């Protein structure tokens, strides 16, 4: 791994907030050199006065991961569970130094729910309670 420059760090961090910070830094400390010649007028990226008065005093950035995948909710993999910890049988493209190429089962338990036998993860206990209604297509879901 190589050390990141300040520019690379800002570009790769924070879902774009790094690029905004870099733009501010570059604007506050003009770079030496000639102005780039751009083909269309008005697209020179120079700061322009805003149509509205700025009101924000601070920015709060929330980094939130998405929800669990469908494989961890609705799709049990019995063969993968059986082979948990074994080496992957095929060729793998490894992207991380510590990546071992082992098979990994879901960390959640799956159980049949209702008379329909719909298999659901332990992450969905309330959904398991209405599994037959979902299977029949008659569920009216309401908040608790």
pLDDT at site 112: 92
**Burial class of residue 134, CB neighbours in 10 A (0-12, 13-18, 19+):** middle
**Nearby residues of 68 by Cβ (< 8 Å), 6 or more positions away:** 121, 123
Q: Which residues contact 116 (CB under 8 A, 6 or more apart)?
A: 131, 132, 135, 136
Q: What is the structure's pLDDT at 31? A: 60
- Domain for residue 55, yes or no? no
Query: Strand 118-121 to strand 110-113: parallel, antiparallel, or no bridges (unpaired)?
Result: antiparallel
* pLDDT the model gives residue 122: 93
Is 110 a domain residue? yes
Q: Is residue 80 part of a domain?
A: yes
Shared-domain flag, residues 26 and 74: no
- Report pLDDT for 35: 55
Q: What is the pLDDT of residue 33?
A: 52
Structural domain span for residue 10: 1-31
Measured in residues, the chain has a length of: 144
Q: Cα 54 to chain center, whole Å?
A: 30
> How many helical (H) and strand (E) elements, i.e. helices and strands, does the chain have?
6, 2
The pLDDT assigned to 109 comes to 93
- Is 78 within the bounds of a domain? yes
- 49 within some domain: no
Q: How many domains does the chain fold into?
A: 2
Q: What is the pLDDT of residue 138?
A: 64
Determine the Cα–Cα distance for residues 19 and 8; give it in Å rounded to an integer: 9
Ranges of the chain with pLDDT below 70:
1-2, 9-19, 28-45, 97-100, 138-144
Q: Tell me if 61 is assigned to some domain.
A: no
Within a domain: 53: no
User: 78 and 25 in one domain?
Assistant: no
Give the per-residue pLDDT at 82. Answer: 93
Q: How far is Cα 74 from Cα 70, in angstroms, rounded to an integer?
A: 6
In a domain, 1, yes or no: yes
pLDDT at 97: 66
**Residue 20 and residue 75 share a domain:** no
């Amino acid at each position: 791994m190589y050390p990141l420059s300040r520019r690379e760090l800002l570009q790769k961090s924070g879902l774009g907030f790094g690029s905004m910070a870099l733009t501010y830094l570059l604007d506050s400390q003009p770079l030496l050199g000639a102005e780039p010649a751009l083909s269309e007028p008005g697209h020179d990226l120079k700061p322009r006065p805003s149509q509205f008065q700025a009101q924000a005093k601070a920015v709060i950035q929330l980094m939130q991961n998405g929800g669990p995948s469908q494989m961890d909710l609705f799709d049990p993999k019995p063969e993968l569970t059986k082979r948990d910890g074994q080496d992957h049988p095929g060729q793998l493209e490894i992207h991380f130094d510590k990546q071992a190429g082992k098979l990994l089962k879901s960390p959640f338990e799956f159980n049949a729910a209702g008379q329909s036998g719909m298999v659901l993860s332990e992450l969905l206990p309330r959904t398991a309670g209405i599994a037959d209604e979902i299977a029949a297509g008659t569920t009216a879901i309401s908040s608790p």
